[in-house]
Amino acid sequence: MDKNRDIFISILDNHKGIIFKIVNSYCKDVTDKQDLIQEIIIQLWISFAKYNNQFKLSTWIYRIALNTSISFYRRNKVRKEKTVLASAILETTLKSDEPFQEDPDLIKLQGFIQELKELDKALILLYLDGLSQKEISKIIGITSTNVGSKIERIKKMLKQKFKKY
Amino acid sequence: MKDIELVNIWKSYDQKLDEVLSLNKEIVFELTKEKISKTIRTMRRPKKVILLIGIPYTLFLYLLTFIGYNSKGIFVMFGFGSISLIMTAIIIGYFYHIYLINSISSTQEIFDVQKKISELKISSFNVVRLAIIQIPFWSICWMSLDAFKKSPIIYGGVNLIVLLVLIYLSYWLYKSLNPRYTNSKVRKFFLSGTEWEPIKKACEILEQLKDIRK
């Protein structure tokens, strides 16, 4: 049990970037982010025993983290809309976000991604993280061609937004 | 804008994320260190209160020893004298605890904090053991040489039984405090309260700090 726990913690530590990026794309306020991180970790721990090592660890983490985030996002959508102001205040007071403030393009891109629909968010996150169409189709559960066309559409949309703002 | 530009913007995310995470780690680490020294500092007041009561009490015991010496009360002198010496050692222990508590600060390296907390833990433990050792001497204080001479069997027998019972009690308590018996009720009873909880809490926080530093 302890050995499993240590392995699990080390996996989490090595892939924490994936989790943070997904969480930041699906949640705006700090409390939601913390809740979602916890939920993802719980889901990962539950499915850790069933982990099939034919898949890459990152693919497994992406799949679980995205599924958890999408259902979390749907569940919290209504509540979130009502607490936008409070969360905005909380976020701006977070000093540890300072490194992000130095990169306005990254902030814009995060903002644009947050505005996307939940499935589109997942697709572009996976694309930007360098996963192949085949890998993305495995994680999301749609055909590779469909992945390609959807990503093209999202990229076009993001580029337009960059032009506009 | 080209695709590669989008990807590059996103790539900088990983680097920023690492910066944020290491910054967060550092903030958490510093805050936790501050929490340890705050927790340990809560022990200062009860220790000072015990010293305020303990010093006059020990002086009073020395006075009784002196009276025993003057009146040639050998048992009174030996009994109270021994208790006074033990109490002196306990008082010195408490002064040392306060010195250790004052020397723990959040600006120190974690290794130094850990070392001082360990010293505080060991010394507090030894003080409890010393307090237990004095128990049998309380039965000696009240013995009278004249009464022994008059009634060696009854008076002597009763006092011997009381002394043996207290020696056994003292031995049993001393043994029960052994760190091997982690679930011992005696150990839990003596190693609890305002003088022990902060040490336990600080040790737990130290463990968390080790995890952060991993």
Give per-residue pLDDT as tens, A101-120: 667 888 888 889 988 988 89
ipTM over 0.90: no
Instruction: Say yes or no to pLDDT of A85 above 70.
Output: no
**A99 has a chain B CB within 8 A of its CB:** yes
**B30 has a chain A CB within 8 A of its CB:** no
CATH of domain A103-165: 1.10.10
For residue A76, give how far its alpha carbon lies from the nearest alpha carbon of chain B (Å): 25
Q: What is the mean pLDDT of residues A121-128?
A: 91
Structure tokens at A148: 């390609």
Structure tokens at A162: 């960059």
Domain ranges of chain A: 1-92, 103-165
From B14, which residue of chain A is nearest by alpha-carbon distance? A17
**B4 has a chain A CB within 8 A of its CB:** no
Please enumerate in sequence order all residues whose Cβ is within 8 A of that of B184, keeping only pairs 6 or more positions apart, or say none.
Answer: B176, B177, B178
Instruction: Say yes or no to pLDDT of A15 above 60.
Output: yes
A148 DSSP assignment = H
> Tens of pLDDT along B95-128?
999 999 999 887 888 888 888 999 999 999 999 9
Question: pLDDT in tens for each of the 214 residues of chain B?
Answer: 788 888 888 888 877 777 777 777 778 788 888 888 888 999 999 999 999 999 999 999 999 999 999 988 899 999 999 999 999 999 999 999 999 999 988 788 888 888 899 999 999 999 999 999 999 999 998 888 888 888 889 999 999 999 999 999 999 999 888 877 777 888 888 888 888 888 888 888 888 777 666 6
For testing contact with chain B, the best of A91, A128, A157, A161 (most B CBs within 10 A): A128
CATH architecture of the domain formed by A1-92: Orthogonal Bundle (1.10)
B196 DSSP assignment = T
- Are B12 and A108 contacting, i.e. CB atoms less than 8 angstroms apart? no
Comparing A165 with B117, which gets the higher pLDDT? B117
**B9 has a chain A CB within 8 A of its CB:** yes
Name residues 153-212 of chain B within 8 A of A (Cβ). Answer: none
pLDDT at A87: 42
- Are B195 and B46 contacting, i.e. CB atoms less than 8 angstroms apart? yes
Beta carbons of B6 and A109 less than 8 Å apart = yes
Please enumerate in sequence order all residues whose Cβ is within 8 A of that of B70, keeping only pairs 6 or more positions apart, or say none.
Answer: none
